Chains A and B, each alone.
Chain A
Amino acid sequence: MKFSRRNFMKAASGALAYASAPSILATAGIAQEKPIVIGNILDQTGGLNIYSLQQIKTTAMAVDEINAAGGVVGRPLELVFYDSQSNNQLNAQYMTEALVRDEAVVVHGGVTSSAREVMRPIVSKFGGLYFYNSMYEGGVCDPRHVCPAMVPSQQLKPLVPHVVQNMGKRAYVLGADYLYPHTMGEWIKRYTEEAGGEVIQTEFFPLDVSNFASAITRIQAEKPDVVWSVLVGNAHNAFYRQYEATVGKDTIPLASCMFGIGREQTYLSADESAGIVNATSFHDGLETEAARVFLKNFRAYTGDESYVGDYGELGYRGVKLWALAAEKAGDPSADAVIEALPGTSFDAPGGKVTIDGQTNHAVMDIHLIRANREQGWDHLGTTEQLEPVDTQAVCSLGS
């Protein structure tokens, strides 16, 4: 942990940090044009902010880059930020404010499925456009909703067979007790069985549980080959510490589709995190030119040296995809952009991302990773251009 004064200044200066400087607009020659308002509703405060803070910054950075390059259809972007304070009721209020009062043509944001489901009806009611830059259980089929992040089938398709082959056939699954981990649990079971393994037990925990002693005892009694963690949030991080202190990954290895999403590997000790495998659409250890440039620009833009990760990159990806579609449409209004979205493609820091017109979800590269002892990830391989098949199975917007 660093006690950085610079970070504090950024946080304390609040919304101001997210407007492009007048000099940028002047250089790009768009200072006189009427700005296009885009909204960003994320949790700067409250328990969910570990997932939001980097995304707030990368969203602002994307807007800045677009403005410096001449804006969208020759007009500058103006980012209005709303802190939903980890409170769904505020999500509802701010979504209305953004669409009605501030006349945002697109709103990015929301971390949890519940926040998204609260905001989506409002977007429909007022005919807006909404980018949900977050992993979730999949299945939303709504022309006004775009999700450029991984859904379960994309993340688990390369991950589960790897785990079954390299770690063992008998799996024990622990998850947080809400919709997403329940869905993940089902997909883990399905892919594990397809790969010739079995899930011997699945157990869910309320988000505020931090004592895993009894669960760990049950794991020891069942003697699985591998333990899956779909645990989420701050309290659940305690599991990784208690597991290492009691059982140890040298005895029974850990796989997870959540570990690292909240940057867990940066605050656990090397023993506690090293060896956990996961799959993601972006991580800081990615050895591609696009990833290196993105990280360099991020550090220069924010002065923040810490891990950016998937949730950070998603905000950037969302805004860029939107801007490309708006440019393609030649019109930033919601309906025009919705028309133009299918097939819009962006070479994101994590690889090429294309909007799938059938679902408004995305086709993307998935990277298999393993936590190392230096708070980062070892890259195990990349599966290219995976389709969101689970959502495609239940959704066809194009037809």
Chain B
Amino acid sequence: MSQKTKDISRRGFLQRSGAAGLVVTASGLVLPQATLADTPNKGGHFVLGLKGGESTDTLDPAINLGSASSYALYAFGDYLIEIDPDGGLVPALAESWEAAEGGKVWHFTIRQGVEFHNGKTLTAEDVVKTLQRHSNEDSQSGALGIMRGIETITADGNTVSMTLGTANADLPYLMTDYHLVIQPDGGMDNPAAGIGTGPYKLTSEEPGVRYTFEKFANHWNDQVGHFDSHEIIVINDDTARAAALQSGQVHAIDKVPPRVADLIGRAPDVAVGVTPGRGHYIFVMHTDTPPFDNKDLRLALKYAINRQELVDTILNGYGAIGNDIPINDAYPLFDDSLPQRDFSLEKAAEHYQKSGHDGSPIVLQVSDAAFPGAIDAAQLFQQTANAAGIPLEVKREPADGYWSEVWNNQPFCASFWGGRPVQDQMWSTGYLSTADWNDTRFKNAEFDALLLEARAELDPARRKDLYAQMARIVWEEGGLINPMFNNFIDGYSEKLGGWTRHYSQMMNGFAAKLTWLA
């Protein structure tokens, strides 16, 4: 029977590859014919199976916590600006934008003739109210952190203007944050109604179970939203999610566990999409607490971790090694001139000797709540550190309460950062002296000054240089041990056309908008 299945799938593969525009030339090379593959089919029903939904989820974009329910926001909502596959900016509800006064004031021209699902027409006033709801002081919005720098938001005709306390060259990037769905009247009266201007109109909502949508006929952009209807099913169990994809009940799933990614990719009709991410699995030291206030001890630990081994075992190879900074080449304006820190027991031992540590145990507190495999990662780290003569000990902490009791409280622990759209945001939330989430207690006046200078710098080349200088400071002085960046792994049906790699998982959340049934 298995032989038969294989035959069918091979024939099926040839048919599909023909349909997808793959041409086998006489020399045996496989060439893509972009023109055929790029013509979207209209119609059909698209089902996503997603992890991380609960019956407590809400569609209020301000307090939506991401994961499964945020894909509903991507379906029913639109943003001022979107991010393209390469991380560039694409106009959406804002047709264009420009900076004034050296990045202190920003003007956005709002697209005209856009209709909300409740029949109202989008106005600049809706945009102003939406952004105000996310930025006023008693807001519960998850976007409050990035919106805080905005002092006034005003509308004038089609134009929305924002005035910032200090200049910020990255403001357009911040407008792509998933919370900032433009809602009628800013969502002031009924924020969780699920009404937006997006390509799909919400037809039913069962938090933690499923969301259903139908195509919104009056959407302003007929280049997106090819399906007649769309459904999001919450499947929290990893095995059940994979089974749903393999049995053809869903077209795509997110968060495929690295250890089964190869197995799923081997199944017929199913492909695995890997996106190098900005998320990083890390160990953080408080640079103001002994013994971690000693730069040599920090360097000793940084040299004593075998990054490649962690990527291979903890991530099953689905990741990239880190370099003790929170930034990688997935970010715009990344400078790759910083040398990769190697794994060197000699250098580790040398710095450890230089630090003059008294030999008392150095305790690393971990839990799998920090990231999947954190305990294993810490134990591998312990082995290599002990080989270099560093008395590293691993202490296991309960998962419940890890983020409130251990992380950002204890001097040396495991952590996870999901990354941010732009460098400025990543550095400001985690490494500025005054940041709430400065989980390495990194306080460096030179770094702070560079960060503020870069934020106001409108010349990209100069900013790139400033960011490179900042990265080098953190690389040298910081309390961050960053062994690895994890990849996002999606699984999708090969019946889908238009699936491309974006800078974030699930085509940056826009799979339902951009794919079609081939």
**Binding between chains A and B:** no
Q: Which residues of A contact B (CB under 8 A)?
A: none
